[in-house]
Structure 1
Amino acid sequence: MTNRRAMRSVLCMVLVFVCSGVWAQRTATRPAGAMPGRWVRTNPGGGGWFERIAPGPGGAVIACSDLSGVYRSLDGGWSWDCAGPARGLTATHAACAAFDPADPAVVHVGTDEGIFRSTDGGRTYAQTLGDGYVESIAPAADGQTVYAAVHTAWNAAEAHVYVSTDRGETWSRADTGFPPGRRILKLLVSPTDASAVFALTGEGRFAGGPAEIHASTDGGVTWHRVSDTLAGPVADIAFDPAAPGVLYATADDPDPDLPGFVYRSDDGGASWVLLGNHGGALWLRAAAPGVVRVFDPRWQFPWDDRRGVWETADGGQSWSRAADIGSWDTGWSTVYYVLTSSVHSVAVGGAGRLWW
């Protein structure tokens, strides 16, 4: 009995010691302002698949996550904060974003639950369109007119084009019947005419259809295809910021091992001129008139001849590799696969920066 009582006493002392240590650690490491029983995130978070990225002026960047809303950086990507339900962005799946060109405090975010809008540079949001999967948002040059590609479901190849004429505060359907069986991946508004809109369709992450260019000259009401003469599925479209009437397009070669094509149109897509055999995303800068760059994130491997950034400064007569993968910083990862992504995830920002 004496030994049993002694053992109980020792066990009690050990239990008191352990519990005291755990309580001391719990109270000593609790972050300032944290309430008992609550968890406080100490890391920058996950994010899942980052669907799109939208660079804005002055180092502002919005990254769209499929699991945790949007991430915002105000210093060119060096640091980030996350906007979620506490800031009004109740949808966790963000598919696209766009800054108002005339008022950078206004940010539009397309989600699987419609459109959310910010008037304070992406800090807080309010919902402006209540349903639909929004794949692309394109403001006109003055920001007053904004277009959105709205799909009936996240996995549907049925699209409608919505329009706002009050900087995204209210929305209404514009089209009287966008071609069926299409997934709109990108909308583009003419820099000189807010009623001239182009839609790039193709294979998206969740659904797809023919990779084509469709054009509207009446504010998205009626549409016609303008890519019939291109040699393959369309990969990207972009206006030249140094020559706003010039439209460029890239197309994939039907043979997946070949590089693709670059085209130029001076008449809104009615006719096209072949500039070279390179594909991918277009990179055009106002600060470099006449220079056309293409970059295909799908083939960024040291052994692939399509790797790097290719450019022409003489209308396609000659092309050269302007940058190669060997000089790029891959961040924390040591594998090249971190540099690969969809063509449609590439965005061109200010100061000559490319994001993907």
Structure 2
Amino acid sequence: MFVPLILFRPVRFLLVGVSTAALLLSVVAADPTPSAAAPAIDQKLFGGMKWRQVGPFRGGRALAIEGVPGEPNTYYFGGVAGGVWKTTDGGANWTPLFDKEAISSIGAIALAPSDHNIVYVGTGEAAMRGNVTYGAGMYKSSDAGKTWTNIGLKDSRQIGRVVVDPKNPDVVLVAAFGHAFGPNQERGIFRTSDGGKTWAKVLYKDENTGGIDVVIDPHNSNLVFAALWQARRQPWNFSSGGPGSGLYRSEDGGVTWKQLQGNGLPDGILGRIGVAISGADSDRVYAIVEAKEGGIFRSEDGGGKWTRVNDDGRFRQRAWYFSNIFADPKAPDTVYVLNTGLFRSVDGGKTFTLLPARHGDHHGLWIDPENPQRIGNANDGGASVSMDGGKTWTTQGNQPTAQFYHVAVDNAFPYHIYGAQQDNSNVCIASRTDTGIIGPQDWYPAGGGECGFVIPDPRDRHIIYSNNEGFLTRYDKNKEQYQDLSVLPLDNSGHGAADNIHRFQWVSPLLISAHDPETIYTAGEAVFRSTDHGQSWAQISGDLTRNDKSKQQPSGGPIQLDITSVEYYDTVFALAESPKRKGMLWAGTDDGLVHVTTDDGAHWANVSPKMPEWGTVDLIEASPHDANTAYVAVDRHRLDDLKPYIYKTANAGKTWTAITSGIPEGAFVRAVRE
């Protein structure tokens, strides 16, 4: 969500953005001795600084949704960065249930069919995007979401699915993927028979393979299917598939397992797998399998033999991000597949129809076991509900669960806030209005895409600059005109970074000079400057990265390549201009280097702090008080290192001091502000 941040400039302090279970904002003293020029401020005044929700009320990415059988207006959904929400009026209004918990990333939700007051939540999304957020294990509520208790599996990080025994609310199975960015032991399929007091690891392959799906036969809880998935995220690559992946069946409630191979299932390396059991016929089982000869498979004998019934590329594309399949509880030939669209088949998976669901990029589905016309859907735009079998859906414009990359404000009074929302447009929204209500009439798309920076011209807030991957746009709100200002207006999709003329990341720096608003800076592997508000560009640095070609190859494998600028590496990720000295710029890279220039790019010096290699310099703060002082926030969570790294220099980078005292282990840092 957007929140206003009010700083009292006479006092020097640091704002540190740390990522633990949720995004926290901490205030840490920069210097125990106040500046001589700074007047004494009553610390009690800071108590008047309150968070205020300003919107916009359009949903963000969600993977999990569950309804309550017999209660047609009650549903739960989980946002990947928004916590757990509940509606009791059929999706007209949603109430947050998880705000007091230490985590906000939700991967899975399951209600106990025999006791609807019992809700289990698996935290940490398992849709392995480059900005995937992690969790802290399993949570349980025994009062329909009013209160929650963490019940273990805290190092599982990402949870793909949770299921509860149809008759026993204490028997739960969890598909725990484990660490997205490294090996660990707490992964696989876990089972509890005492409501989460203790857990048994019942299916495990190795430290590189985790659980991604698990389903229980609604009529015979002894019959369980599960999928293991070998996958690994790195800053420069994502790999889906390997010898660890496979489909398994249990006939004793998930205590012991047998891997299903051959008999119609694809040979060779497997990737992500989704599985579903028909509620109308326990022998009818569906699976969607990532493989060279993958697709949708169907079994008529409870998983003994399989037939590939569909190999349509619409359902196989980006298998690592989707591969979700759901069987209708009443009709054995009706099955749903989720991908960029929500698809339904009524002939056993042979042909599919696209449903008019909200948004796109679909991940979660719930079908009422008593009334299949009642459906809940979770996708990259939030959650919505249908009561007529998918013909119409409730709005997603009532869920403030969006993910924003960066925020900026203009100089208007009252001011406006700007940001880019994941899998949506960017946005400008009023910080307050004369009516006391901030509604849809008070915000608008500000000319760009889902990622990057959105920055208003300090002289005219109606002129807005934004970037989205390597593309840069100037938007004139008064004229409703867009202009492409890209350094190199080429779509590099499908090419490895090493093939490109310039390497622009998914989130590339963008700033307007505080000394001359005609001057704009951006960066790829080098820094670029425009002195005519983006009409032309000059490269003002060489390659400031490590330029390791081994980390610039096409991303993906071993089954499919998946090449986007998310994995473009060896790029300048952070760029900052000193507000005290014109021509002084700081550049930080995603491979762990810091450079500085004092002559507007004519000469650059490598002033990197002594720190672990390959960390992402997420943000640089050039001090507003002293030109030689700067702060660097370094993020290594994508290397499976959650330690905080913050450095300060007071001599233009000649020496650095680590300033992480008071920040706990596990709270990796994304931002630092003075």
Give the TM-score of the pair, scaled to structure 1: 0.69
Distance across 1 between alignment mates of 2:178 and 2:328: 35
Unmatched 5+ residue regions in structure 2?
1-46, 124-134, 234-238, 316-322, 379-674
2:346 is aligned with 1:346: no
In structure 2, the CA distance between the partners of 1:218 and 1:255, relative to structure 1 (3 Å rule), is closer
In structure 2, the CA distance between the partners of 1:129 and 1:253, relative to structure 1 (3 Å rule), is closer
Residue 255 of structure 1: how far off its partner (Å): 6.9
The question of whether the paired residues in 2 share the 8 Å contact of 1:62 and 1:72 is answered with: yes
Distance across 1 between alignment mates of 2:181 and 2:65: 21
Residue 141 of structure 1: how far off its partner (Å): 1.3
Residue number in structure 1 paired with 2:229 = 202
Which of 74-83 and 174-183 deviates more? 174-183
In structure 2, the CA distance between the partners of 1:349 and 1:156, relative to structure 1 (3 Å rule), is farther
Query: Which amino acid in the other structure matches residue 213 of structure 1?
Result: L
2:358 is aligned with 1:324: no
The question of whether the paired residues in 2 share the 8 Å contact of 1:197 and 1:216 is answered with: yes
2:286 is aligned with 1:248: yes
Candidates 222, 225, 230, aligned match of 2:265: 230
Residue 203 of structure 1: how far off its partner (Å): 6.5
Candidates 189, 207, 215, aligned match of 1:161: 189
Residue number in structure 2 paired with 1:137 = 162
The question of whether the paired residues in 2 share the 8 Å contact of 1:114 and 1:127 is answered with: yes
Q: Which has the higher helix share?
A: 1
Candidates 179, 201, 220, aligned match of 1:174: 201
The question of whether the paired residues in 1 share the 8 Å contact of 2:214 and 2:275 is answered with: no
Which of 204-213 and 186-195 deviates more? 204-213
Distance across 2 between alignment mates of 1:43 and 1:180: 41
Residue 355 of structure 1: how far off its partner (Å): 1.3
In structure 2, the CA distance between the partners of 1:150 and 1:241, relative to structure 1 (3 Å rule), is same
- Quote the sequence identity (%): 18
Distance across 2 between alignment mates of 1:297 and 1:151: 20
Query: Which amino acid in the other structure matches residue 251 of structure 1?
Result: V
What SS does the corresponding residue of 2:221 show, helix, strand or coil?
Answer: strand
In structure 2, the CA distance between the partners of 1:121 and 1:195, relative to structure 1 (3 Å rule), is same
Residue number in structure 1 paired with 2:218 = 191
Residue 192 of structure 1: how far off its partner (Å): 4.0
Query: Which amino acid in the other structure matches residue 354 of structure 2?
Result: D
Residue number in structure 2 paired with 1:116 = 139
Residue number in structure 2 paired with 1:10 = none
Residue number in structure 1 paired with 2:298 = 263
Distance across 1 between alignment mates of 2:118 and 2:232: 27
Distance across 2 between alignment mates of 1:52 and 1:203: 22
Distance across 1 between alignment mates of 2:68 and 2:180: 26
Residue 201 of structure 1: how far off its partner (Å): 2.7
The correspondence of residues 84-103 of structure 1 with structure 2, limited to 5 A, is: 84-86=98-100, 89-103=101-115
Distance across 2 between alignment mates of 1:198 and 1:178: 15
In structure 2, the CA distance between the partners of 1:146 and 1:329, relative to structure 1 (3 Å rule), is closer
Residue 238 of structure 1: how far off its partner (Å): 0.7
In structure 2, the CA distance between the partners of 1:187 and 1:40, relative to structure 1 (3 Å rule), is same
Deviations 1:246-276 (A, max 9, x none): 32223356379xxx33312413x22223444
The question of whether the paired residues in 2 share the 8 Å contact of 1:61 and 1:72 is answered with: yes
Unmatched 5+ residue regions in structure 1?
1-34, 301-306, 331-337
Distance across 1 between alignment mates of 2:98 and 2:58: 13
The question of whether the paired residues in 2 share the 8 Å contact of 1:51 and 1:96 is answered with: yes
The correspondence of residues 64-79 of structure 1 with structure 2, limited to 5 A, is: 64-79=78-93
Deviations 1:191-233 (A, max 9, x none): 3443433212336795754453122334444433214331375
In structure 2, the CA distance between the partners of 1:290 and 1:255, relative to structure 1 (3 Å rule), is closer
RMSD: 3.3
Deviations 1:37-82 (A, max 9, x none): 4334354878754233333332333222232322222233222111
In structure 2, the CA distance between the partners of 1:45 and 1:320, relative to structure 1 (3 Å rule), is closer
Residue number in structure 1 paired with 2:327 = 284
Query: Which amino acid in the other structure matches residue 259 of structure 2?
Result: R
In structure 2, the CA distance between the partners of 1:348 and 1:51, relative to structure 1 (3 Å rule), is closer
Distance across 1 between alignment mates of 2:173 and 2:215: 9
Residue 285 of structure 1: how far off its partner (Å): 2.3
Give the TM-score of the pair, scaled to structure 2: 0.39
Deviations 1:164-200 (A, max 9, x none): 213x241322327445532311111233443433212
Deviations 1:117-137 (A, max 9, x none): 111222321111151223321
Higher relative contact order (CA 8 A, sep 6+): 2
Candidates 336, 343, 348, aligned match of 1:294: 336
Which of 233-242 and 105-114 deviates more? 233-242
Distance across 2 between alignment mates of 1:135 and 1:49: 15
2:65 is aligned with 1:53: yes
Distance across 2 between alignment mates of 1:85 and 1:163: 27
Query: Which amino acid in the other structure matches residue 191 of structure 2?
Result: V
The question of whether the paired residues in 1 share the 8 Å contact of 2:151 and 2:197 is answered with: yes
Distance across 1 between alignment mates of 2:288 and 2:97: 34
Query: Which amino acid in the other structure matches residue 175 of structure 2?
Result: A
In structure 2, the CA distance between the partners of 1:285 and 1:157, relative to structure 1 (3 Å rule), is farther
In structure 2, the CA distance between the partners of 1:190 and 1:283, relative to structure 1 (3 Å rule), is closer
In structure 2, the CA distance between the partners of 1:46 and 1:202, relative to structure 1 (3 Å rule), is farther
In structure 2, the CA distance between the partners of 1:208 and 1:197, relative to structure 1 (3 Å rule), is farther
The question of whether the paired residues in 2 share the 8 Å contact of 1:215 and 1:223 is answered with: yes
The question of whether the paired residues in 1 share the 8 Å contact of 2:276 and 2:325 is answered with: yes
In structure 2, the CA distance between the partners of 1:121 and 1:293, relative to structure 1 (3 Å rule), is same
Distance across 1 between alignment mates of 2:275 and 2:216: 11
Residue 346 of structure 1: how far off its partner (Å): 2.7
Q: How many residues align?
A: 290
In structure 2, the CA distance between the partners of 1:308 and 1:271, relative to structure 1 (3 Å rule), is closer
Deviations 1:130-175 (A, max 9, x none): 5122332111111331111234434346523222213x24132232
